[in-house]
């Protein structure tokens, strides 16, 4: 154990030390370095800001929303265009769209985060192991990946939801189960090109175990592509959840899930554009934020790109 | 390598833009002799009149197959001759004799004879597909149909029933698609393994109607063509083409642009928006389809009479009628749609939360309860479900909506494993018994019952009403019969676990150069052969 | 899958042939396994979805005895393992059965629906990759600059705007208002019965028949939905291109090439992109496969009788014969594209050719 330094200045020096005295210091130092790289990227910080704002919005939905997200009046407030009273207008049940979007951020965050957290690691692990191990392991893992990939996605998701039962949680699990294969393919493709690199050979010579090589030396290199893909997929995930909704397996009305709101708005696209436009814009902003965040992370984490 | 593909793509795009501009300039209205109808026709599964039972096929059959008689589109209580020029009923009311018109021909050129008529009815009963019950309910079975339905002369057909039913009931059933006359010679020439031409007729045509079926490409197109052998006034249009267009907004764009002459699945707000377009007209007719919410009596809360009544006070009929189903539906709280014999027009219920609360308190459910409702994710059904969810909440009832696709919710409904269900029922043939048979008849409420009408699906055990419905089907005095149906509807309104909401009003929007388009009360009475274009 | 076997210098003929036979054999086993997996999963789906397949055949109104008879005819009363056995047996004989919805043999249905989707997807991917790759390169070169942000926002709009919304807006603007393109459907009704379908590809059929007016019409129907799908894949392809290019531009050989005084264009397009193409091929192939699956929403909005609509509609009716047919087709495309991208790897990337 090293003795922890006292002042902020020395903390920094400790973290930035060229000669870390312990494993912990080294990894903390790396993390700090990554954070500094990340923080320098203004766009990435903007992305982070939006994501944090989304989090706050979800937390304080009760305080922020001007109206109830589930109560409307068919006679008096149906399909009103945006105005001072209803900033984003109202929907076909007379509900305030702004309030629905604010409350919907909870569901959206839940869906997006859960899918990313479930699907990305599976894909990464399968892809890198297959790519590095080669031979039979590769063949077996890639067969499974291919079967999943070769299957029309919505159909596979539908089958899983059918097995699990209706509800947004199950829809999320189904989407996660069906969305890892592309990550696996990308990770494997990257692994194949990295595998032959000199430094991997060097690590191997030093007697590192295959597990360690995959975990420590290959995965970090693949993470960046996978992150880019996952952040890009964010909007897709929200819209897939809506797609399941069409088959009756997504969010339950009157839940203000953004994808379901868009799906509902399609009937009004030609005359009451705001019903679909507002949740569409919300999805856009959030996926932009995740995308910026992802790019920032990619740059900060990429060991090849360290400045 | 990269550059060349890019350049190729660029070339392609510019070529495309050029071609597109040419075509755009050339794009004009549909051909003069062709009517293009944009309609969701993905429900079609067969072209065989002995098997069809879907909405869009109903219309196709109505235009392409003749039957013995039809009902008058302007007054559905009247019957008019089709292939039969006259008919008589025997003294005991059990034998019906039809005299066929002379000289009628099938599209194939074969003459229409009583043999064909007898074969068609026998075939429908023997094949025993879904709509066969319309004929077999008169005591016709596979074994006896060849004796009961006979050609007694070259142009004379007799049908014998097992009981003396109301004559209008029997004759009304003969207007249904399942009683359409097929070309015996042609159908039998295509027979495989004694299937009575079933496999062939699924995708082919053997009728005598004013239009003949030229081609059906599932989910894409259905083309009808003028039948020059038709006995009556020939169709003015050479062709009627139904294009499968599922999305309402797409239908509307096609219509506005003139690439479709008629659009059939527009939403209330589309119809509102089109009302101000001078190139477009609208026409609508109340259909024999009613929409309802039903309460499964297997759920102990829903089985309480007070709760059943409370739900009827928890629907904001007025607001729903003015918004969600504006133009496409009419509030209607009876199981018989307006237009059928004896249909009541009394609508006593309106939104009254306090009354509902009092009823719930009387049932010992003052604090409300939780219940699920299976809902198809289509409009206006989902919208109505959400509106009812809101109003029910005001009385403390928490409705959890379980969304699903049509077949999925239906599977659950038919298994009686739902709590609440929102759905619709369309008349199978133009007689009040069709709806009485399903809403107020439940001969056997056990799980393995032989017939499973809507009353059974909601476990509504009603021996008394069942008897009344049976008696009404046999009543030969029309006025008395009418009174019996009014009586059943009054009781149904009070006690049934069905919250009847509205009767469908089918609206078509069409280009103003289309003349003579009229939506029929049933799908098989929308006659495209009477339409022309200026 | 299928790694390069080490090729020994001056190998003998026999050994080579043996190895070739061996890898062909392995390849066949791999394909067989994938198909069997697809079959099993489809079968499983058909049995777990809570939709009664009998309903699609007889509808809602059928009397109980008709329902019971049809259930028997469809073999749904047999034990599961027996149903699966019969199912596999039939498929192995090339009998995919009939679709209950269309009454046609499934293969015939697919022969009609699939060309519609291929036409759309191919033009879509040509547009998507043809524009997406250069945009991605541009964004990578101008990393952090205005160009980069522009490409990002443009791509993201394509990604997060609901496709039916873009589709309807596209129709509203380019079809209804401006009249630049034709509307929904594959061809105008006026041309519907002027030509006989041979290949099922409208463009090919009209071109073969020399009906250039119809060809133009078919193209003007195709261009809008194809652009939409292209835009959708462009978003993804340009992002991935940017990411791969950034990786390459950091490499030493790029610095070396620059140091040698090669022009910047040459460094980027000849060297960096060439290497970035390796993983990019997978990305483009996957996007293409995704487009070939058919997009239900696009096909719905454009009344396009393609595979996506066919499969979804069949699934909603538990018409499992049709679903299986569609799945096998989608699966085959995937396997094919997969092989192709593996092959391209080896051609494009010297590293995967190296000895183990």
> What ipTM describes this predicted complex?
0.82
Does A248 sit within 8 Å of B409, measured CB to CB? Answer: yes
Q: Is the pLDDT of residue B209 over 90?
A: yes
Residue pair C37/A181 in contact (Cβ under 8 Å)? The answer is: no
- Mind listing the pLDDT tens digit for each residue in B27-84? 456 888 999 999 998 888 899 999 988 888 999 999 999 999 999 988 888 999 999 9
**Residue C32 and residue C169 in one domain:** no
More confident residue, C349 or A25: A25
Share of chain A above pLDDT 90, in %: 21
- State the sign of the Cα–Cα–Cα–Cα dihedral C188, C193, C198, C200: positive
Nearest to A152 among C160, C240, C293 (CB): C293
**Residue C150 and residue C294 in one domain:** yes
Residue pair B430/B521 in contact (Cβ under 8 Å)? The answer is: yes
Residue C354 binned pLDDT confidence (cut-offs 50, 70, 90):
very low
Q: Is the pLDDT of residue B25 over 50?
A: no
**Residue C77 and residue C144 in one domain:** no
pLDDT of residue B472: 94
Does B23 sit within 8 Å of C220, measured CB to CB? Answer: yes
Residue C10 binned pLDDT confidence (cut-offs 50, 70, 90):
very low
Mean pLDDT of C164-183: 86
pLDDT of residue B20: 47
In Å, how far are B130, B422, B444 from B447, measured between CA atoms?
A: 21, 21, 9
Is A245 within a domain? yes
Is C301 within a domain? yes
Q: Is the pLDDT of residue A303 over 80?
A: no
Q: What are phi and psi of A121, to 5 degrees?
A: -60, -40
**Residue C243 and residue C295 in one domain:** yes
Residue C350 binned pLDDT confidence (cut-offs 50, 70, 90):
low
Lookup: tokens for B525 = 């009475």
Mean pLDDT of B383-389: 95
Q: Is the pLDDT of residue A296 over 90?
A: no
Residue A5 binned pLDDT confidence (cut-offs 50, 70, 90):
low
Is A5 within a domain? no
Chain A neighbours among C 280-299 (CB < 8 Å)? 282-283, 286, 289, 293-294, 296-297
**Residue C119 and residue C79 in one domain:** no
Lookup: tokens for C87 = 């199912």
**Residue C81 and residue C211 in one domain:** no
pLDDT of residue B23: 47
**Residue C232 and residue C324 in one domain:** yes
Domain count, chain A: 1
Q: How far is A87 from A70, CA to CA, in rounded Å? A: 17
- Residues of C whose CB is below 8 A from B452: 64
Q: From C66, C92, C118, give the residue that closes a domain.
A: C92
Q: What is the mean pLDDT of chain B?
A: 91
Q: Is the pLDDT of residue C311 over 50?
A: yes
Q: How far is B472 from B432, CA to CA, in rounded Å? A: 9
Nearest to C52 among B128, B411, B451 (CB): B411
pLDDT of residue A307: 35
CB proximity list for A235: less than 8 A, separation 6 or greater: A283, A284, A286, A287, C156, C159, C160
Cβ-Cβ contacts under 8 Å between A and B: the total is: 75
Q: Is the pLDDT of residue C101 over 50?
A: yes
Is A279 within a domain? yes
In Å, how far are A201, B407, B409, B444, C67 from C53, measured between CA atoms?
A: 57, 9, 13, 25, 10
Which chain B residue lies closest to A68 (C-alpha atoms)? B390
- Residues of A whose CB is below 8 A from B410: none
Is C97 within a domain? no
**Residue C49 and residue C18 in one domain:** yes
> Which range, A129-138, B368-377, C34-43, has the best average confidence (pLDDT)?
B368-377
**Residue C124 and residue C70 in one domain:** no
Mean pLDDT of B495-522: 95
> Which range, B478-492, C145-159, C160-174, has the best average confidence (pLDDT)?
B478-492
Which chain A residue lies closest to C332 (C-alpha atoms)? A150
Residue pair B343/B482 in contact (Cβ under 8 Å)? The answer is: no
Q: How many CB atoms lie within 10 A of CB B270?
A: 23
What's the gap between Cα B110 and its chain centre? 31
| Region of poorest pLDDT, from A134-148, A285-299, B336-350, C336-350 | C336-350
Lookup: tokens for B311 = 């739900």
Among B42, A107, A186, CA closest to C56: B42
Residue pair C197/C275 in contact (Cβ under 8 Å)? The answer is: no
Q: How far is C348 from C279, CA to CA, in rounded Å? A: 10
Give the residue from B257, B376, B386, B392 with the most A CB atoms within 10 Å of its CB, the best one to mutate. B386
- Shortest Cα–Cα distance, B368 to chain C (Å): 30
More confident residue, A114 or B494: B494
Q: Is the pLDDT of residue B172 over 80?
A: yes
Residue pair A181/A149 in contact (Cβ under 8 Å)? The answer is: yes
- Mind listing the pLDDT tens digit for each residue in A197-214? 888 888 888 888 888 888
Mean pLDDT of C283-310: 85
**Residue C120 and residue C266 in one domain:** yes
| Region of poorest pLDDT, from B188-202, B220-234, C82-96, C227-241 | C82-96
Lookup: tokens for C308 = 């996506």
- Shortest Cα–Cα distance, A123 to chain B (Å): 30
Nearest to A93 among B273, B376, B383 (CB): B383
- Residues of B whose CB is below 8 A from A77: none
pLDDT of residue B265: 93
Is A14 within a domain? no
Tell me the pTM: 0.85
Q: How far is C292 from C74, CA to CA, in rounded Å? A: 30
Nearest to A147 among C41, C235, C316 (CB): C41
| Region of poorest pLDDT, from A267-281, B63-77, B416-430 | A267-281
CA atoms within 13 A on the CB side of C168: 24
Which parts of B319-411 are beta strand (E)?
Answer: 329-331, 370-376, 398-404
CATH code (residue C307): 1.10.3720.10
Is A307 within a domain? no
Residue B22 binned pLDDT confidence (cut-offs 50, 70, 90):
very low
CATH code (residue A97): 1.10.3720.10
**Residue C110 and residue C214 in one domain:** yes
Does C244 sit within 8 Å of A225, measured CB to CB? Answer: yes
Share of chain B above pLDDT 70, in %: 95
pLDDT of residue A155: 74
Does C183 sit within 8 Å of B20, measured CB to CB? Answer: no
Mean pLDDT of A176-203: 85
Lookup: tokens for B257 = 């642009």
Lookup: tokens for B389 = 């969810």
Among A172, A182, A33, CA closest to A112: A172
Chain B neighbours among C 117-136 (CB < 8 Å)? 123, 126-127, 129-131, 133-134
DSSP string, C35-73: HHHHHHHHHHHHHHSS--HHHHHH-SS--HHHHHHHHHH
Which chain C residue lies closest to A184 (C-alpha atoms)? C282
Q: How far is B433 from B172, CA to CA, in rounded Å? A: 10
Q: How far is C146 from A177, CA to CA, in rounded Å? A: 37
- Mind listing the pLDDT tens digit for each residue in B271-319? 999 999 999 999 999 999 999 999 999 999 999 999 999 999 999 999 9
Mean pLDDT of A99-113: 90
Give the residue from C159, C284, C293 with the most A CB atoms within 10 Å of its CB, the best one to mutate. C159
Domain count, chain C: 2
Q: Is the pLDDT of residue B8 over 60?
A: no
Is C299 within a domain? yes
Q: How many CB atoms lie within 10 A of CB B463?
A: 9
Neighbouring chains of B at 3+ CB pairs under 8 Å are A, C
Q: Is the pLDDT of residue B235 over 90?
A: yes
Does B408 sit within 8 Å of C104, measured CB to CB? Answer: no
Does A229 sit within 8 Å of C240, measured CB to CB? Answer: yes
Residue B188 binned pLDDT confidence (cut-offs 50, 70, 90):
very high
- Asked if C72 reaches chain B (Cβ–Cβ under 8 Å), the answer is no
β-strands B370-376, B420-426 pairing: parallel
Residue A147 binned pLDDT confidence (cut-offs 50, 70, 90):
confident
Neighbouring chains of A at 3+ CB pairs under 8 Å are B, C
Q: Is the pLDDT of residue B323 over 90?
A: yes
Q: How far apart are the first and last CA of chain A?
A: 29
Is A19 within a domain? no
- Mind listing the pLDDT tens digit for each residue in B133-153? 999 999 999 999 999 999 999
Ordered by where they begin, the domains of chain B are 1-58+209-279+512-534 (3.40.190.10), 66-207 (3.90.76.10), 287-505 (3.10.105.10)
Burial of B14 (0-12, 13-18, 19+ CB in 10 A): exposed
Q: Is the pLDDT of residue B471 over 70?
A: yes
Is C99 within a domain? no
Q: Is the pLDDT of residue C351 over 70?
A: no
- Mind listing the pLDDT tens digit for each residue in A119-144? 999 999 999 999 888 888 888 888 88
CA atoms within 13 A on the CB side of C95: 7
Mean pLDDT of B221-234: 94
pLDDT of residue C236: 84
List the domain range (segments joined by +) for residue A291. Answer: 24-300
pLDDT of residue B318: 95
**Residue C31 and residue C165 in one domain:** no
Q: How far is B72 from A210, CA to CA, in rounded Å? A: 83
List the domain range (segments joined by +) for residue C33. Answer: 2-92
Does A155 sit within 8 Å of C279, measured CB to CB? Answer: no
């Amino acid at each position: 154990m090293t003795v922890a330094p006292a002042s902020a200045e020395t903390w920094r020096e400790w973290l930035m030390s060229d000669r870390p005295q312990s494993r912990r210091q080294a990894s903390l130092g790396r993390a700090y370095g990554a954070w500094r790289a990340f923080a320098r990227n203004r766009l990435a910080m903007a992305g982070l800001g939006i994501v944090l704002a989304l989090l706050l919005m979800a937390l304080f939905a009760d305080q922020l929303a001007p109206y109830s997200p589930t109560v409307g009046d068919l006679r008096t407030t149906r399909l009103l265009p945006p105005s001072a009273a209803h900033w984003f207008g109202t929907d076909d049940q007379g509900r305030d769209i702004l309030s629905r979007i604010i409350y919907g951020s909870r569901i959206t965050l839940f869906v997006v985060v859960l899918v990313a957290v479930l699907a990305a690691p599976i894909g990464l692990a399968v892809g890198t192991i297959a790519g590095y191990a080669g031979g039979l392991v590769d063949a077996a893992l890639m067969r499974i990946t291919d079967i999943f990939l070769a299957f029309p996605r919505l159909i596979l998701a539908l089958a899983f939801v059918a097995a699990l039962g209706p509800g947004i949680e199950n829809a999320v699990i189904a989407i996660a189960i069906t969305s890892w294969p592309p990550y696996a393919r990308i990770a494997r493709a990257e692994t194949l090109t990295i595998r032959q690199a000199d430094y991997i050979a060097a690590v191997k010579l030093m007697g590192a175990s295959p597990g360690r090589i995959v975990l420590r030396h290959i995965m970090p290199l693949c993470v960046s592509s996978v992150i880019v893909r996952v952040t890009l997929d964010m909007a897709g995930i929200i819209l897939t959840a809506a797609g399941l909704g069409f088959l009756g397996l997504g969010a339950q009305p009157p839940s203000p899930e953004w994808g379901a709101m868009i799906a509902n708005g399609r009937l009004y696209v030609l005359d009451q554009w705001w019903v679909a436009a507002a949740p569409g814009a919300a999805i856009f902003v959030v996926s932009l934020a995740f995308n910026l965040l992802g790019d920032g992370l990619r740059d900060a984490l990429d060991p090849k790109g360290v400045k | 390598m990269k550059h060349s593909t890019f350049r190729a793509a660029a070339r392609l795009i510019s070529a495309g833009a050029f071609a597109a501009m040419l075509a755009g300039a050339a794009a004009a209205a549909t051909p003069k002799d062709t009517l293009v109808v944009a309609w969701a026709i993905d429900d079609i599964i067969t072209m065989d009149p002995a098997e069809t039972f879907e909405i869009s096929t109903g219309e196709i059959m109505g235009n392409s197959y003749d039957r013995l008689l039809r009902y008058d589109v302007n007054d559905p209580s009247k019957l008019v001759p089709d292939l039969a020029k006259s008919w008589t009923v025997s003294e005991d009311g059990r034998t019906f004799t039809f005299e066929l018109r002379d000289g009628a021909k099938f599209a194939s050129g074969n003459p229409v004879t009583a043999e064909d008529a007898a074969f068609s009815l026998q075939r429908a009963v023997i094949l025993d597909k879904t709509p066969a019950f319309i004929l077999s309910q008169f005591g016709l079975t596979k074994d006896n149909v060849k004796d009961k339905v006979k050609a007694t002369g070259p142009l004379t057909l007799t049908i014998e029933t097992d009981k003396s039913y109301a004559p209008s009931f029997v004759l009304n059933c003969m207007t249904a698609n399942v009683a359409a006359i097929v070309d015996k010679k042609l159908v039998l020439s295509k027979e495989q393994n004694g299937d009575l031409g079933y496999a062939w007729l699924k995708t082919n045509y053997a009728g005598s109607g004013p239009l003949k079926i030229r081609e059906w490409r599932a989910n894409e197109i259905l083309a009808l063509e003028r039948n020059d052998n038709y006995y009556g006034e020939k169709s003015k249009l050479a062709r009627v083409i139904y294009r499968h267009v599922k999305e309402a907004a797409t239908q509307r764009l096609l219509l506005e642009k003139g690439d479709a002459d008629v659009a059939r699945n527009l939403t209330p707000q589309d119809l509102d928006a089109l009302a101000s377009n001078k190139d477009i007209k609208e026409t609508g007719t109340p259909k024999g389809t009613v929409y309802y919410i039903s309460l499964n009596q297997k759920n102990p809360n829903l089985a309480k009479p007070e709760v059943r009544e409370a739900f009827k006070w928890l629907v904001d009929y007025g607001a729903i009628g003015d918004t969600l189903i504006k133009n496409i539906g009419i509030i209607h709280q009876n199981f018989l749609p307006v237009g059928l014999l004896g249909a009541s027009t009394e609508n006593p219920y309106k939104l009254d939360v306090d009354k509902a609360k009092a009823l719930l308190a009387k049932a010992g459910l003052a604090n409300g309860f939780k219940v699920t409702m299976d809902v198809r994710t289509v409009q206006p059904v989902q919208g109505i479900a959400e509106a009812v969810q809101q109003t029910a909440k005001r009385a403390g009832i928490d409705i959890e909506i379980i969304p699903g696709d049509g077949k999925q919710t239906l599977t659950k409904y038919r298994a009686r494993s739902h709590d609440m269900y929102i759905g619709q029922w369309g008349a199978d043939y133009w007689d009040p018994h069709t709806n009485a048979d399903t809403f107020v008849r439940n001969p056997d409420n056990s799980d393995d019952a032989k017939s499973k009408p809507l009353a059974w699906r909601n476990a509504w055990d009603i021996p008394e009403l069942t008897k009344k419905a049976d008696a009404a089907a046999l009543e030969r005095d029309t006025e008395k019969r009418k009174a019996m149906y009014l009586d059943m509807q009054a009781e149904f309104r009070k006690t049934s676990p069905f919250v009847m909401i509205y009767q469908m009003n089918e609206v078509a929007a069409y280009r103003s150069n289309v003349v003579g388009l009229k939506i029929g009360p049933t799908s098989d009475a929308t006659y495209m052969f009477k339409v022309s274009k200026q | 899958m299928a790694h390069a076997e080490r090729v020994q210098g001056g190998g003998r003929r026999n050994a080579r042939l043996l190895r070739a036979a061996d890898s062909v054999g392995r390849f066949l086993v791999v394909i067989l396994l994938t198909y069997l997996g697809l079959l099993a999963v489809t079968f499983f789906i058909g049995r777990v979805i809570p939709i009664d397949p009998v309903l699609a055949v007889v509808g809602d109104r059928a009397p109980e005895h008709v329902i019971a008879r049809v259930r028997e005819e469809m073999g749904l009363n047999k034990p599961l393992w027996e149903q699966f056995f019969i199912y596999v047996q039939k498929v192995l004989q090339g009998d995919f059965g009939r679709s209950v919805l269309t009454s046609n043999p499934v293969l015939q249905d697919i022969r009609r629906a699939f060309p519609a989707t291929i036409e759309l997807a191919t033009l879509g991917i040509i547009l998507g990759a043809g524009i997406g790759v250069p945009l991605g390169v541009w964004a990578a070169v101008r990393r952090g600059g205005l160009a980069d942000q522009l490409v990002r926002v443009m791509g993201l709009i394509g990604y997060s705007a609901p496709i039916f919304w873009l589709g309807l807006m596209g129709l509203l603007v380019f079809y209804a208002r401006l009249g630049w393109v034709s509307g929904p459907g594959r061809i105008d009704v006026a041309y519907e019965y002027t030509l006989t379908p041979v290949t099922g590809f409208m463009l090919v059929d009209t071109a073969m028949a020399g009906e250039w007016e119809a060809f133009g019409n078919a193209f003007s129907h195709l261009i809008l939905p194809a652009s939409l799908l292209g835009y959708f894949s462009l978003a993804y392809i340009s992002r991935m291109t940017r990411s791969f290019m950034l990786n390459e531009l950091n490499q030493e050989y790029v610095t070396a090439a620059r140091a040698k005084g090669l022009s910047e264009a040459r460094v980027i397009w000849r060297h960096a992109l060439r290497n970035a193409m390796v993983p990019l091929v997978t990305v483009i192939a996957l996007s293409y496969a995704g487009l070939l699956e058919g997009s239900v929403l696009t096909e719905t909005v454009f009344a396009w009788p393609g595979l996506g609509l066919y499969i979804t509609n069949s699934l909603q009716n538990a018409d499992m014969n049709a679903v299986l047919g569609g799945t096998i087709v989608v699966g085959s495309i995937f396997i094919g594209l997969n092989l192709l991208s593996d092959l391209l790897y080896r051609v494009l990337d010297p590293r995967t050719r190296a000895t183990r």
